[in-house]
Chain A
Amino acid sequence: MKTENKNIHGILAEFRNPKELVDAAETVKESGYSEFDTYAPFPIHGMEKAMGLKESPLGWIVLGGGLIGFIGALTLMIWVMGYEYPMNISGKPLINFPIYVPITFELTVLLSAFAATFGMFALNKLPRLHNPLFNVERFKKASDDGFFICIEASDDLFEEKPVSKLFSDAGAIHVETVYDSE
């Protein structure tokens, strides 16, 4: 869809408060749109239900990271202490599981934390160098006290007029078309 040689990214609407944003998200979802997102300075309680989001898969990524840390630590220590560089320490057995507990625990936590942090950024497709939403001057409020919702042009049902009307009916205080480039 093109207007004045500009690609439309979507339509952005601003609402007054978290309650109105949640209600609007519910309306948008019920109208059948799927390519939309809401923007707020903090996570809003109950928004996941309004938007119909599924559980984040991050837990599985962290489990993977944690298992690598757990198995890696044990393998390293058993190999070093038992085979590669055996040391007789006070006559204790070479492969001695209780003494492996602290380092195994630490490395499990370390790798899980890396998986949680970088997994989260990867799921959120961050870092991202540019976002068409930043073309909208008003959107600066999204990190301050603004509550926005954007239906993207990639949605199959997307058409400028009905979308704008949907937002006005839902009580938006400002509706604006977002273009891919300025």
Chain B
Amino acid sequence: MSTNYEYVPEPKLIKGDHTFGSITDLIAKTPLSSTPPLWYLAFAVANLLLIVLLGAVGYLIWDGIGIWGLNNPAGWGWAIINFVWWVGIGHAGTLISAILFLFRQGWRTAINRFAEAMTIFAVMCAGLFPAIHVGRIWVIYWVFPIPNQMGAWPNFSSPLLWDVFAVSTYFTVSLLFWYVGLVPDFATLRDKAKSKAAKISYGIAALGWTGSFRNWWNYEKAYMILAGLATPLVLSVHTIVSFDFAVSLIPGWHSTIFPPYFVAGAIYSGFAMVLTLMIIARKIYGIEDIMNIDIMEKMNLVMMVTGNLVAFAYLCEGFIAWYSGYIYEQGIFWLYVVGPYAWGFWILMFCNVITPQFLWSKSIRRNVTLTFIISIIVNIGMWFERFMISVASLSTDFMPSSWDYFSPTFWDIIIYIGTFGLFFTFFLLFLRFLPMVAIAEVKGVMPQADPHNYDEHTNEFIEAKAEPALAQQQKLEQKNQQV
């Protein structure tokens, strides 16, 4: 019996017939050409929302957090939900830029710059909420260990303080990582720019980068070290965010499954957000050759895996509630399912458990419209997950006599909507003025970039050398046909 096996090659990372020069032109054209009218429209809407946010936050600071719908058992409402939601979204960027880099996943180069920008702006939105929810924002510096006239110091054993350190470190490291990645691309824009203003501003940002290999040599080391640092960092940040809940004694919070469950949920929602933004941007900016369907499918696979991890965590919560024999844990589980917030629980189940199951189908994973819809549903689902954790657990705690139903006020809602203004203002500025794909890194993963893919004598690029197994297989097939 003959064995018939086939070598399945990795799909080409960059579609179409591209050279190094055409990649530069494709990506550098957006920041260097004039502003499209549609951009102004989008920017105006984002600015309007940003103004709404600033106004609402101003009123919050003026009047106090009493304008929110918080009540006595539910002292953590939308502010904490939104904080966890936004910071979770941010995690995808670091996962793509750091963890996939360490795993040598070449496809990350198509989306890493984009996702890292999303991370930074999402963490900005996230950071707003803990700052404004303290009530007296003018003494927010008390969270930092700064010597003061009271001789007081922060309590280093509080998870809330760990959170301050985790989120501020995360923001700083993401920003450094992003900038390091941008420097060679700023040099490209500096060299391509026609106007004096663009030349000077990109020139300053490029710091005099020449593309010298002695510089690349240190640069690659720095990039690898930063990726190595960001990998445990990103896992630690959402772990510490989950400690805000898990270290307390509230049933539904006091659980050791929280750190991995939060990290999986963060990556799940982050990938959904990257997909939502990517599907729009690749169409508008015509970079479908780089942000192609194969990359979308790979992201959908990550979403499917993390979505099922999250679903498994829900299952574990139910199991542990039963297995622990602890009535309050069992009580809160039943209150989730049939209690006052059961509608939130069932929305959550639909969005987070049922929706990702569609991604088992290859044709759905490769369908742009369906992926877009799924990605939005997942983000809604992840918001409801944090809603259930924060609000449902708090408002029905140990004593039924103290239970109270939480409803948001106008200000809760408007501040949440306003953060989209903050996010999109920065994101649109990024799309307009910065290279949205890492130009140098995309070139680095092209088969033409590897000197081994060139002929020894004529020094011409030979495509077959990039996929030797595939070339051999094709040769065999031809031979078989001739026989």
B180 x A120 contact (CB < 8 A) = yes
Question: Which residues of chain A from 1 to 44 have any CB-CB distance to chain B below 8 Å in the complex?
Answer: 16-23, 25, 37-44
User: Which residues of chain B come closer than 8 Å to A141, judged between CB atoms?
Assistant: 191
CB distance from B457 to the nearest CB of A (A): 11
In the complex, A83 Cα to B449 Cα: how many Å? 58
Judged by a CB distance under 8 angstroms, whether B214 is at the interface is: yes
B209 touches A126 (CB 8 A): yes
B347 at the interface (CB under 8 A from A): no
Q: How far is the CB of B98 from chain A (nearest CB, A)?
A: 11
- Which residue of A has the minimal Cβ distance to B162? A102
Interface centre among B188, B192, B217, B240 (most CB of A within 10 A): B217
Asked if A85 contacts B226 (CB within 8 A), the reply is: no
B444 touches A87 (CB 8 A): no
Within the assembled complex, what's the spacing in Å between the Cα atoms of A21 and B177? Answer: 29
* Residues on the A chain within 8 Å of B207, using CB: 121, 126-128
Query: Does B459 contact A144, Cβ atoms closer than 8 Å?
Result: no
A124 CB contacts on chain B under 8 angstroms: 212, 214-215, 218-219
Which single member of A45, A77, A80, A109 contacts B232 (CB below 8 Å)? A109
Bound-state CA distance A16–B479 (Å) is: 35
Which residues of chain B from 435 to 477 have any CB-CB distance to chain A below 8 Å in the complex? 439-441, 443-444, 448-452, 454, 459, 461
For residue B179, CB closer than 8 A to chain A, the reply is: yes
Question: Quick one: closest A residue to B167, CB to CB?
Answer: A106
Contact B229 A116 (CB under 8 A): yes
- Residue of B with least CB distance to A84: B153
Assess the B211–A131 pair: CB atoms within 8 A. Answer: no
A112 interface residue per 8 A CB criterion = yes
Docked complex Cα distance between A59 and B379 (Å):
39
Task: Pick the most buried of B226, B451, B461: most chain A CB atoms within 10 A of its CB.
Answer: B451
Q: Using Cβ atoms and an 8 Å threshold, which residues of chain B touch A134? A: 210
Complex: A24 Cα to B323 Cα, angstroms: 69
- With A99-B157, A109-B229, A143-B187 as contacts: A120 and B218 at CB distance below 8 Å: yes
Given A39-B212, A59-B221, A106-B166, residue A80 in contact with residue B145 (CB < 8 A): yes
Cβ of A25 to closest chain B Cβ, rounded Å: 8
- Interfacial chain A residues near B441, Cβ < 8 Å: 42
B225 touches A112 (CB 8 A): yes
**Given A41-B211, A105-B236, do A144 and B217 touch, yes or no (CB 8 Å)?**
no
A130:B208 contact, CB within 8 angstroms: yes
Given contacts A77-B156, A102-B243, A117-B226, contact A42 B215 (CB under 8 A): no
Q: Using CB atoms, name the residue of chain B closest to A48.
A: B217
A109 engages B233 (CB within 8 Å):
yes
Interface residues of B, dominant DSSP: helix
Task: Verify B169–A109 contact, CB threshold 8 A.
Answer: yes
| Proximity string of chain A (43-67) to chain B, C-beta cutoff 8 Å, 1 when within and 0 when not | 1111110010100101100100000
Q: How many residues of B contact A (CB 8 A)?
A: 68
Beta-carbon contact of A39 and B211 below 8 Å? yes
A171 to B218, CA, bound (A): 28
Is A107 located at the chain interface by the 8 A CB criterion? yes
Q: Is B357 an interface residue (CB 8 A)?
A: no
Do the beta carbons of B218 and A103 come within 8 Å of each other?
no
- Check if A41 sits within 8 Å of B461, measured CB to CB: no
Q: Which of B162, B219, B229 contacts A103 (CB under 8 A)?
A: B162
A62 CB contacts on chain B under 8 angstroms: 225
A residues 142-182 touching B (CB-CB < 8 Å): 142-145, 171
Is the CB–CB distance between A116 and B225 below 8 Å?
Answer: yes
Task: Give the residue among A105, A113, A140 with the most B Cβ atoms within 10 A.
Answer: A113
Cα distance, A143 to B173, chains bound together (Å): 26
CB distance from B167 to the nearest CB of A (A): 9
Residues of B within 8 A of A76 (CB): 145
CA–CA, A171 and B450, complex, Å? 19
Residues of the A chain whose Cβ atoms lie less than 8 Å from the Cβ of B180? 117, 120
- A residues near B230, Cβ cutoff 8 Å: 113
Q: Which residues of A contact B232 (CB under 8 A)?
A: 105, 109
B319 within 8 A of A: no
| Complex contacts, A56 vs chain B, CB 8 Å | 217-218, 221
* Contact mask for chain A residues 87-115; partner B; CB cutoff 8 A; 1 contact, 0 none: 10100100010011011011101101110
A41 touches B451 (CB 8 A): no
Residues of A within 8 A of B439 (CB): 41
Do the beta carbons of A107 and B165 come within 8 Å of each other? Answer: yes
The answer to whether A144 and B192 touch across the interface, beta carbons within 8 angstroms, is yes
Contacting residues, chain B, for A89 (C-beta < 8 A): 155, 157
- Check A22–B152 contact: CB distance below 8 A: no
Q: Do B215 and A113 touch (CB < 8 A)?
A: no
5 cross-chain pairs, A with B, having the tightest CB-CB distances, nearest first: A128-B208, A120-B222, A19-B454, A145-B20, A127-B207
Q: What would 16 A/B residue contacts be, using CB atoms closer than 8 Å? A: A17-B461, A39-B210, A40-B213, A42-B184, A43-B219, A58-B222, A92-B157, A103-B165, A106-B162, A106-B169, A110-B172, A113-B229, A123-B218, A129-B208, A130-B208, A141-B191
15 more contacts with CB within 8 A, not counting A56-B221, A99-B157, A139-B210, are: A18-B450, A41-B439, A42-B444, A45-B449, A85-B152, A102-B162, A106-B166, A117-B179, A120-B222, A126-B207, A126-B215, A134-B210, A143-B184, A143-B192, A143-B209
**Interface residues, chain B, with chain A CB atoms under 8 Å away:** 19-21, 24, 145, 151-157, 159, 161-162, 165-166, 169, 172-173, 176-177, 179-180, 184, 187-188, 190-192, 207-222, 225-226, 229-230, 232-233, 236, 240, 243, 439-441, 443-444, 448-452, 454, 459, 461
